[in-house]
A and B are shown apart, each in its own frame.
Chain A
Amino acid sequence: MTLMVLSACAQKRPVSIPQSHRPPESVPEIGGPVRDQRAARYDSTVGRGKQEENPLLSAVRPVQRPRPKALTRMIENAENQLRRKQPELAFSTLEQALYIDGQDPLVWHLMARARLDQGNIVQAVSLAKKSDSLAAAYPDVKEKNARLLRQAQGRAD
């Protein structure tokens, strides 16, 4: 008991808690919580949406975004166009896909792929990095980006 009391009176200590890429749950964040994309997506006006059940629960924790079928189809089209060696057409398809969701990391990755296929290494790298910055919840896309960046590096050398 004495030890417990003494230790509590000690100065604040450095901690060795491992850092997390994810924000802590149930703690308000700077800027406040943003409702989950799936819940809030279609409510932009005041008073029309349901109240968030738990305002402390962070929505910033990476979650995969719901992908409308139209976007899935566009991604498939672009992948087919890339397979058929039509990178410019694929890029154009993917630009349209950004109208549907500008934050889907797979779309940005495929744009990087299209540019790499065209030999535009600088844009390929930029686009892959952009994809990476959005891919916290997409380990598979991160892996693809890493591979693409290695390829780009190889070609640049």
Chain B
Amino acid sequence: MAFFAYAYMINHQVAQRFKDRLWDVPAKVYARPMTLYPGLQLSVKSLEQELDLLGYRRVETHVQLTVPGTYTRYQGRFVLSCRSFDFGEQRRPVRRVELTISGDLIDQLKSGERIADMEQLDPVLIGQFYPSSMEDRILVDTEDIPTLLKKTIIAVEDKNFYSHYGIDFKSIFRAIVVNIRQGRLTQGASTLTQQLAKNFFLSPDKTLKRKFSEAFVAAAIERQFTKEEILEAYINEVYLGQDGSRGIYGFGLGAQFYFGKSLELLSPKETALLVGMLKGPSVYNPRVHPDRAIARRNTVLGLMADQELISSAELTKSLGSSLSVIPVPRQWRFPFYLDFVKRRLLEEYREKDLKTMGLRIFTPLDPLVQLAAEKGVADFMAVRDSKLEAGVVVTAAATNEIQALVGGKQPKYQGFNRALDANRPIGSLVKPVVYLSALERPENYTLVTRINDGPVALKSGGHLWKPMNFDKKFHGELPLFQALVHSYNTSTVRLGMDLGLETVFATMAQLGFKPNPPLVPAMLLGSFEMTPVQVAQVYHTLASGGFYTPARVINAVYTPEGETLQRYSLNIEQHLDPGAVFLVAKTLQAVVREGTGRSLSIWLSPDLGIAGKTGTTNDLRDTWFAGFSGNRLAVVWVGRDDNQSTGLTGASGALQVFGRIMVQIPNTPLVLTPPENIEWAVIDPQTGLRTDSNAPGALAVPFIQGSAPVLFNPLPNPGTQVIPKTPAYPRPGQQPVQKKKPRYLIDWLKDVF
């Protein structure tokens, strides 16, 4: 009676266990897939770097391209044997792709035998979220398991698999006889089902009680499942080695880990090696003990030939061949980026689910940009104060997808991700917000409105605050845009106070960040704290013409079965007038061309028209640079964790990192499209009046429609008492413009007619 009760209980336990998910599978996090198309800016070096990250191996001849995940290269001509990949919404098959790179551009592209407009590579696996057991596996379905593998496992591990009911009494008897004869334990008689039972339900102890339970469990498994199901479970379950703290489980991952292949592509000798390793994955580790591994593999090959699983010719060929095991595949981990991905995921998923459900997470990380950002930081830090640290964010200008994130100079994450967590005063990075607030009021301000850069003193918090310019000089009356180009403090504070703190920080909120109250005048010079990621959000709204676009680090999450759990699509909201934002962006281009950011020309061609702004805080504690090209935006912070002086400015610190990063990656020129409400006028910047196109110093200046000066001064000569016809220029309280004498007769005549 007790026997039947025990059997019933075990049967129930097995049913329950197999009803649940059998294995904890880590979540896999992928980078963006590289899209190839003729005209894409891509150097040979960058493509090789991408292929290296993907684990593609370079081979010498086309004949060796039979294995997906290999490529040949002759100068700029690449032939890739691409792996298949399941993107969730579509599956890319194994295929051959040919491309030619000439002058850092893709010249020609072929997919199979056809000329192709575009191709997409599989994405780089950038990291995994492991369960506490650190078990890693690639699950395979029975239809994807090669027959040769199944038969070899049975031949080596359990010859009577298809005929026993979980326990093979004949084998047990034979093992007992052999062990008694030899006087020691040399042979086991566990069936595959018993091994499975032991792994799933029982401890590895070799006690009689456990053996007894194992037999009951094995019998229960056999009762409830088909032989095919049991074999599939075994193939997915077994332990096949170790990669640091990560355990390699199942033949699916084993094939990738040792041969860089999917299971169906294993050759007989590779199959023999993996099956042979079941006896002792450490003892027969082919990378550590190649001689033992070859001997064991050859034993298995012999068994395969005995069972007529391979021909004698195949046996002869295989016995003499090398192991052809690949070096340990590198696990690419970008810990700062993964940290951000995980934080976002934990807002919606339980940590346990992340680590066990085998989710597939697609991110916009561009590994080439990420490596460039890490290198940019490392190169800058190499010759500087060892206490300097950095935080970097790089995003796509169109979509605000985060392409790279650096949280410190050590690529290894040590708990403090400065890109996300370093809350530091932003200094002059706030100034574009002040000027944008002004330019949103075209009835009062244009780019050439003269503002005052004289001394200023304000009562704030019971103290008298007297901000100074960085050069310790005052610059008098000057056009509004010049004050931003040269990042003057006093004119900015005066302008900000004229506008009102509420107005300026309401604009800031529209850009994507709302500082905590109370608002104080010093905030006009950036005395409040932000993280690099928050700054990137604000500057992205400027870069995208006033359209607020939430930053994204995840594009989609899929179940292992390909079902979409969540898609994080692009969302945009128009928060600001594109015209006013255009005027600020034009001025930020001037910052880089002729203002505080001009040293960027060491790294990047002025032809790119990069727009940007430097920021430095009191006592040179923090240095910032935020800038954007046509296709990318980057924010860099350089400072010290102990908040001491860096001895650097925005231009000599963060900007130099920005330059080092951007010069390594493709950037398109920033060609700002004037929105509909922009009109242009030729202006003499000295007077703010219209002038002739050929007048010395004449400048084409954009205005919000209706705000351009209507007064025309043919030459920049003083002498005329001008009564303003437009409120935009000159402003009340300003000095009247002095009339100048015409210098050229021709100009004088032009003015007349």
Distance in angstroms from B567 CB to nearest chain A CB is: 8
Interface size on B, residues (CB 8 A): 92
Contacts of A21 in B (CB 8 A): 674, 676, 678-680
- Within 8 Å of chain B (Cβ to Cβ): is A14? yes
Contacts of B608 in A (CB 8 A): 34, 40, 44
Contacts of B673 in A (CB 8 A): 60, 62, 103, 133-137
Distance in angstroms from A17 CB to nearest chain B CB is: 8
Interface string of B661-677 (1 = CB under 8 A from A): 01101111111111110
Distance in angstroms from A114 CB to nearest chain B CB is: 10
Interface string of A1-26 (1 = CB under 8 A from B): 00010011001111101011111111
- Within 8 Å of chain B (Cβ to Cβ): is A144? no
Are A26 and B693 also in contact (CB < 8 A) when A32-B590, A35-B669, A60-B672 are?
yes
How many angstroms from the CA of A35 to the CA of B607 in the assembled complex? 5
Are A27 and B682 also in contact (CB < 8 A) when A12-B711, A49-B605, A60-B674 are?
yes
Query: A133 to B712, Cβ gap below 8 A?
Result: no
- Within 8 Å of chain B (Cβ to Cβ): is A151? no
- Within 8 Å of chain B (Cβ to Cβ): is A127? yes
CB-CB contacts below 8 Å: A31-68 with B: 31-37, 40-49, 52, 58-60, 62, 68
Query: B700 to A70, Cβ gap below 8 A?
Result: no
Comparing B200-208, B261-269, B391-399, B531-539, the segment that makes contact with chain A is: B391-399
- Within 8 Å of chain A (Cβ to Cβ): is B722? yes
Query: A11 to B105, Cβ gap below 8 A?
Result: no
How many angstroms from the CA of A72 to the CA of B38 in the assembled complex? 12
Query: A11 to B752, Cβ gap below 8 A?
Result: no
Query: Could you say which of B605, B611, B682, B693 contacts A45, with CB atoms under 8 Å apart?
Result: B605
Are A8 and B586 also in contact (CB < 8 A) when A24-B700, A34-B609, A73-B118 are?
no
- Within 8 Å of chain A (Cβ to Cβ): is B654? no
Distance in angstroms from A35 CB to nearest chain B CB is: 4
- Within 8 Å of chain B (Cβ to Cβ): is A113? no
Are A103 and B630 also in contact (CB < 8 A) when A12-B711, A12-B712, A23-B674 are?
yes
How many angstroms from the CA of A41 to the CA of B105 in the assembled complex? 11
Query: A42 to B571, Cβ gap below 8 A?
Result: no
Count A/B pairs, Cβ under 8 Å. 240
Contacts of B662 in A (CB 8 A): 44
Interface string of B578-598 (1 = CB under 8 A from A): 100000001111100110000
Contacts of B89 in A (CB 8 A): 89, 92
Contacts of B103 in A (CB 8 A): 42
Distance in angstroms from B379 CB to nearest chain A CB is: 15
Query: B38 to A24, Cβ gap below 8 A?
Result: no
- Within 8 Å of chain A (Cβ to Cβ): is B720? yes
Distance in angstroms from A140 CB to nearest chain B CB is: 15
Are A30 and B702 also in contact (CB < 8 A) when A73-B117, A103-B398 are?
yes
- Within 8 Å of chain A (Cβ to Cβ): is B527? no
Interface string of B21-39 (1 = CB under 8 A from A): 0000000000010010111
Q: Tell me the dominant secondary structure on chain A's binding face.
A: loop
Interface string of B547-580 (1 = CB under 8 A from A): 1000000000000000000010111111000100
Contacts of A26 in B (CB 8 A): 693
Query: B680 to A23, Cβ gap below 8 A?
Result: yes
Query: A126 to B547, Cβ gap below 8 A?
Result: yes
How many angstroms from the CA of A129 to the CA of B720 in the assembled complex? 44
Contacts of A72 in B (CB 8 A): 117
Are A24 and B572 also in contact (CB < 8 A) when A12-B722, A102-B397 are?
no
Q: Which of A31, A62, A102, A111 has its CB near the most chain B CB atoms (within 10 A)?
A: A31
Please, which residue of chain B has its CB at the minimum distance from the CB of A35? B607
- Within 8 Å of chain A (Cβ to Cβ): is B104? yes
Are A30 and B711 also in contact (CB < 8 A) when A11-B720, A23-B674, A68-B38 are?
no
Query: A127 to B572, Cβ gap below 8 A?
Result: yes
Interface string of A94-133 (1 = CB under 8 A from B): 0110111011000000010000000000110011011011
Are A99 and B41 also in contact (CB < 8 A) when A7-B752, A13-B711, A133-B545 are?
no
Query: Could you say which of B396, B698, B748 contacts A102, with CB atoms under 8 Å apart?
Result: B396
How many angstroms from the CA of A90 to the CA of B567 in the assembled complex? 14
Query: A14 to B725, Cβ gap below 8 A?
Result: yes
Query: B398 to A102, Cβ gap below 8 A?
Result: yes
CB-CB contacts below 8 Å: B618-644 with A: 629-631
Query: A19 to B681, Cβ gap below 8 A?
Result: yes
Residues of B at the A interface (CB closer than 8 Å) are: 32, 35, 37-41, 89, 103-105, 117-118, 396-399, 447, 481, 544-545, 547, 567, 569-574, 578, 586-590, 593-594, 601-609, 611, 629-631, 662-663, 665-676, 678-682, 689-690, 693, 698-702, 705, 708, 710-713, 720-722, 725, 742, 748-749, 751-752
- Among all A-B residue pairs, the 3 with the closest Cβ atoms: A102-B398, A31-B589, A70-B37
18 CB contacts below 8 A, A to B, read A19-B705, A22-B674, A24-B680, A31-B609, A40-B669, A42-B666, A49-B605, A52-B607, A59-B671, A60-B671, A69-B38, A70-B38, A70-B118, A95-B570, A98-B396, A103-B671, A129-B574, A130-B544
5 new A-B pairs (CB below 8 Å) besides A8-B752, A24-B682, A32-B606? A30-B702, A44-B629, A46-B603, A133-B547, A135-B673
